[in-house]
Structures are given as C-alpha cells and as structure tokens.
C-alpha cells in the first residue's frame, strides 16, 4: 500500500494528484463563476475550451513524469462539478494524515468524490474539516515544523483554529490574514501571495498580506513580487525537489523566474494559461499525496 506523507512543501515529490482536463465545463449551464479573476476573464475572453485545458495538462504531466513523479488523475466528479482543474483546494496532507477540506463555493463541494477511489488505495489517517468551517488547501502551506494558514476569501479563522486543535502539538500554526477586495487586493488563497522554497527562500507579495507572522520574516530569504507578478501567479510554483521548480512561462513571470534561477533553482517554465484564467497555477493544479 502507498502512504500519505507530506512533512515539507519542498521535499522530493513522489505521488501527486494533477487536475483533470477531460470533462471541463461539460454542462455550461452548471458553471459557477468562483472568483474575481474568473469573472474578469469570462467578461473579456470567455472560458477556455476543454481542448486548451487538456493540452496544457498533457504538457504538465509529461514534465512531472519526466522528473519521476507518479501522477494520478481524479475520476469524473458528479455533474454539479464542472471544473476539476485545481485539486489542491479540496484536500491536503499534513504529516501522514489526509484532510478533506471544506469548500466555500457550492459547485466544488462534491469535487472530492473524484478522489474516492484513489484515496482508498493509500494508507493513513483521514480527517474532515467540521461543518460550519471553511478551509481550502490553497490556504494551507507546510514548511517543516510551521504551518501557515491563510484567512481571507476562502478560509476563515475557525479553519486555522481547527488545525491548531488537531496538529498544534506537533506543528506551529500561524494564521495569515490576507487583504480583502475592499482594500484593493485580490488574494484568492495564501499561495497566491506566499510560497516557501527548498533552498531557504520564499516568494512573497507582502502587500497582499494584512499581517506577516514573525516566522515568515525570520525563516526565509524573501524574493518579493510585484502586484502584477502576483496577479500572474508568479508565486504559485510547484516544487518537485528542494532545488527544482515548475513555473509559468509568461511575460509577467519572467523577472521572478530569473531571480529564482539566480538564487540556485532549476526552473522549468511551461505554458499555462487556461487554468490561471480562473485563478490558479501549478500549485493550485496539484494535490501532493507523498513527498520525501
């Protein structure tokens, strides 16, 4: 049997759930607009097509498998779910425990059903976020003994409190309030403004965070990104190993990707535009199940 195991965001990636392109928006009448980026893209350009999503995920999968990662694809979820491109949000692994998240948007509440068969093939404890709390995986970032928990558009303070109750004897839990739309910022999840990296750095958009915990300031050398770079999801990279990243090939990410290379990282830049048009990039499009 395979085992859940995530002790750090940057340890070598072994097993990962990658987003599903097939079936994307198969019933347009059921599509829910889920964030400001999605609303803006729809108004200006319309939705990407299933073919576009599938093509980008095919390239992404090739890169993952080329690095020795075992890639798993969700089964088709119930018809209430029209977008399975960002599995990061629907669950996360802390240590050897898989936690089923609690989704803010109604159209995503049944998305976890697409993982039922896969999760049954792994061993390890299972938890679910209790009713009445919202907590999504994009707001949960594990950095060794520290867990940073975004509090904002998609996750509430009770989510951080839940993690402290369940894991606070092993990890230091740091709530990180993100700045709301009313303050002119659009941080969908914490990983759109902060990402720890394996050589001691962190990508960060400080203006998107209302409070910055001391652990963020003292444990990492910051690589700061601008508002436009954050909007292009330059922070939303995926670590394949401590010094190996997948990042978006996009003009707005070019400076950040160059800074990462100068800091010692091997950066694979891949074209990825369909999923970012609805608010997520490589971290959002993956749910790691085992690292190390």
In DSSP notation, 115-173 reads GHHHHTTEES-EEEPPTT--B-GGGEEEETTEEEEEESSS--HHHHHHHHHHHTTTSEE
Q: State which H helix or E strand residue 217 sits in.
A: helix 214-219
Per-residue pLDDT tens digits for 137-169: 999 999 999 999 999 999 999 999 999 999 999
How confident is the model over 211-229, as a mean pLDDT?
A: 97
Backbone dihedral region of 276: left (phi > 0), alpha (psi from -120 to 50 degrees) or beta? alpha
- 150 forms bridges with which residues in the sheet? 176
Is pLDDT of 265 > 60? yes
Task: Place 43 in a pLDDT band, splitting at 50, 70 and 90.
Answer: low
What is the predicted pLDDT for the residue at 47? 79
pLDDT beyond 90 at 50: yes
pLDDT at residue 278 in the model: 80
Return mean pLDDT, the chain.
94
State yes or no: pLDDT of 216 exceeds 60. yes
What pLDDT band is residue 40 in, cutting at 50, 70 and 90?
A: low
Q: Around 170, how many Cα atoms within 13 Å sit in the side-chain half-sphere?
A: 11
- What are the tens digits of pLDDT across the range 79-88? 999 999 999 9
**Residue whose entry in the numeric block shows the structure tokens 């490589």:** 282
pLDDT reported for residue 34: 62
Say if residue 111's pLDDT is above 90.
yes
Looking at residue 44, its pLDDT comes to 58
Q: What is the pLDDT of residues 8-37, one digit of tens each?
A: 999 999 999 999 999 999 987 788 776 666
Instruction: For residue 69, give the DSSP letter.
Output: P
The DSSP output letter for 185 is -
Q: Would you place residue 195 in the very low, low, confident or very high pLDDT band (cuts 50, 70, 90)?
A: very high
Q: How much is the pLDDT for 45?
A: 55
Q: Which CATH number fits domain 2-291: 3.40.50.720, 2.40.160.10, 3.75.10.10, 3.40.50.2000?
A: 3.75.10.10
User: In this predicted structure, what is the pLDDT of residue 192?
Assistant: 95
Give me the pLDDT at residue 251, please: 97
Cβ neighbour number for residue 49 with a 10 Å cutoff: 13
């Amino acid at each position: 049997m395979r085992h859940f195991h995530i002790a750090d965001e940057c340890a070598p990636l072994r097993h990962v759930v990658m987003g599903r392109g097939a079936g994307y928006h198969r019933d347009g009448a059921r599509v829910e607009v889920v964030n400001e980026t999605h609303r803006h893209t729809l108004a200006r350009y319309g939705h990407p097509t299933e073919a576009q999503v599938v093509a980008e995920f095919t390239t992404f999968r090739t890169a993952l498998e080329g690095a020795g990662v075992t890639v798993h694809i969700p089964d088709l979820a119930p018809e209430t779910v029209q977008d399975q491109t960002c599995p990061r949000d629907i669950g996360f692994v802390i240590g050897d425990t898989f936690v089923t998240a609690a989704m803010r948007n109604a159209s995503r509440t049944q998305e976890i059903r697409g993982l039922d068969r896969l999760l049954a093939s792994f061993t390890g404890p299972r938890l679910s976020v209790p009713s009445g709390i919202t907590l999504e995986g994009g707001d949960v970032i594990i950095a060794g003994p520290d867990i940073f928990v975004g509090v904002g558009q998609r996750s509430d303070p009770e989510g951080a409190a839940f993690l402290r109750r369940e894991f606070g004897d092993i990890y230091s839990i740091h709530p990180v309030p993100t700045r709301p739309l009313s303050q002119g910022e659009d941080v969908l999840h914490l990983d759109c403004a902060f990402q720890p990296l394996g050589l001691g750095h962190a990508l960060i958009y400080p203006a998107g965070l209302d409070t910055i915990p001391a652990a963020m300031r003292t444990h990492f050398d910051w690589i700061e990104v601008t508002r436009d770079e954050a909007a292009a999801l330059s922070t939303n990279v995926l670590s394949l190993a401590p010094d190996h990243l997948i990042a978006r090939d996009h003009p707005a990410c070019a400076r950040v990707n160059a800074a990462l290379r100068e800091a010692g990282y091997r950066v694979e830049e891949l074209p990825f535009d369909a999923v970012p048009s609805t608010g997520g990039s490589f971290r959002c499009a993956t749910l790691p199940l085992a690292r190390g």
